[in-house]
A and B are shown apart, each in its own frame.
Chain A
Amino acid sequence: MRWFEVATIWRRELLKFWADPGLIITSIVVPLMGILILGFGLNKFIKIPGLDIDYLDFFGPGAIAVLSIGAAMFVGFSIIRDKQGYIKELMVVPISRYSILIGKILSEITTQILTLVASVAVIVFFFLQTDRGLEGIILTILFMFLIVFGFSCFGIFISSIFKHAKSYNQIMVIIIIPVSFLSGAFFPIEGLPTGLQWVAYANPLTYGVDGIRWALIGFSGIPIGLDIFILIAFTAVMMVVGVKLFEKGFKG
């Protein structure tokens, strides 16, 4: 792997991203819209027991985590979409397979983080009563990065199993619904039946939601160190598995 190769792939993806302003706007506006409507709608009716904050403040950090995982899933989709096309083209160019993969992941993460930061700015500055300052924002971005990186690699792992973008999307919907709803983003997991609580604790996103909530409103049910540790471990495992399978997917 050489850095100029990674940089060239990264550059190409960003050029493509800027060439399509419609995509940029929809990828920011659409999820944000859904989340804000949900947040405002429920704000008046829901109080989290034992917490003296608005529902919007509780839900805001969760929403950021859910947006991040949505963005991450797009990375796998983009790779599977390119697999029959541009990636095939790149396989004949004398560059390392790892450069292609890393360049692709980094560029997707860059564009996803760019759009996420725009969404997060809206959520944080207009809807959250946060007094955590710059430190909180930096920690939030760190957690977002971990969620996007970890779940991107998970998406690549899934995309290596399937040949077509359609089957990838179907599987992803089946995965993303429980992962989002059983993460504590929308309601505290303590309210769930014991069995589902276990599922929630096995869900890496739970630790991302908890971490971002701690960073932004200072409320947390899990030690912050454990949040970070679990997300890094998840990312590392997914990256190894993802790269291995990605490589294998191209050998005839």
Chain B
Amino acid sequence: MKTVAVKNLVKRFKDKVAVDEVSFNINGGEVFGLLGPNGAGKTTVISMLTTLLQPTSGQAAVCGHDIVKADAAVRRAIGLVFQDTILDEDLSAYVNLDTHARLYRVPKEKASKRINELLSMVELADESKTKVGKFSGGMKRRLEIARGLIHRPRVLFLDEPTIGLDPKTRRMIWEHIIKLREHTDITILLTTHYLEEADTLCDRVAIMKNGRIVVCDSPQKLKHDLGGDLIRIELDRRDKRLEEKINSLPYVKKIKIRGNAINLTVDNGQKRAVELIPLIDTFPPTLKSMNLREPTLDDVFLYHTGERFSSSNDLH
């Protein structure tokens, strides 16, 4: 049984299809990411899987429980951290967690042990009596993750876990998520519009755009499937013969000319770059710069949607 199984899920609001025939499965213990620009439908998928929204059509099950017919069982099996901070700012970190433990009916002694464990895990043990209103954005986020774990859920949903945080704090949250992945068997579904975040944290990523899943696989596989490394050669002028020569090389898989620049997709980029430099020297144009990089998820996004990720993400 898949821990999360989603089949042809659709959510239609009055005049807009927010989620369009989305299907995916998540295995136990996996960290699964929904990656997409703002408005791609990620939060709507999470809202349906956590029983906050009713799907228009399609099916989904979490830990074997249907999200519509067995919503109470789903809610017992999951933890959720919302995109925006929802904490009782007037109350202490401990009381915030304790209220949740009570709602899930965690017995009193177990609860206090668990709260202290979780507070140490997210490095807030010293702040257990501090009012949450005094916390920084990163501390609040960590506390919310701890709260999401208080009832030992089997699946944890994180909606944009690092939105609005500075890069340093973001890395710290990542470390906590990686810790969870390594030390527990919890299944995590997170949404993000940060490419690097999906790349760093997720075992598998589903790229979403306009309510649809465009492609879904591990970040490594997605990048590998683009066919290899990217080399960009910048010259001082164009030269037809050189372009033809490079195009005829057996290891060049794709070639694109952009003005004075030649973009190549090759296997084994580091070795090829070294070979290319002397070859270019035998032709009249002067080599101005050469750039070698491995493909990123941005390239994956571009390949599958025809758009740069950053340009379809107008808020960031």
Contacts and interface: CB of A to CB of B under 8 A. Distances in A.
A92 B86 contact: no
Main SS at interface, chain A:
helix
Interface in A44-79: none
A92 B51 contact: yes
Contacts of A92: 50-52, 75, 78, 80
A91 B54 CA distance: 13
A15 interface: yes
A111 B282 CA distance: 86
B23 interface: no
Contacts of B50: 92
A4 interface: yes
B29 to A, nearest CB: 22
Interface string A123-134: 000000000000
A86 B51 contact: no
Interface in B77-97: 78, 80, 82, 84, 86, 88, 90-91, 95
Contacts of A15: 91, 95
A88 B100 contact: no
A220 interface: no
B3 to A, nearest CB: 17
A7 B105 CA distance: 12
Contact of A16 (B84, B91, B100, B103): B91
A167 interface: no
A206 to B, nearest CB: 37
Contacts of B84: 85
Contacts of B78: 92
B53 interface: yes
Nearest to B47: A252
Contacts of A251: 54
Given A5-B103, A86-B88, A91 B52 contact: yes
B276 interface: no
B103 A93 contact: yes
Given A92-B52, A92-B80, A16 B90 contact: yes
Nearest to A99: B103
Interface string B34-51: 000000000000010011
B176 interface: no
Nearest to B13: A252
A95 interface: yes
Contacts of A11: 99, 102
Contact of B131 (A19, A85, A94): A19
Interface in A5-59: 5, 8, 11-12, 15-16, 19-20
Interface string B278-304: 000000000000000000000000000
A232 B103 CA distance: 32
A90 interface: yes
Given A94-B75, A94-B104, A88 B95 contact: no
A89 interface: yes
B16 to A, nearest CB: 13
Nearest to A17: B90
B76 interface: yes
Given A88-B52, A92-B80, A93-B75, A20 B103 contact: no
B257 interface: no
Contacts of B178: none
A185 to B, nearest CB: 33
A6 B212 CA distance: 40
B277 interface: no
A85 B104 CA distance: 19
14 contacts: A4-B105, A8-B102, A12-B88, A15-B95, A85-B86, A88-B52, A88-B82, A91-B52, A92-B52, A92-B78, A93-B100, A94-B75, A252-B47, A252-B52
What 7 pairs between A and B have smallest CB-CB spacing? A94-B75, A252-B53, A19-B90, A8-B102, A89-B86, A94-B76, A93-B103
Interface of A: 4-5, 8, 11-12, 15-16, 19-20, 85-86, 88-95, 251-252
Given A11-B102, A92-B50, A93-B104, 13 more contacts: A4-B105, A8-B99, A8-B102, A15-B95, A16-B88, A19-B90, A20-B90, A85-B86, A89-B82, A92-B75, A92-B78, A92-B80, A94-B104
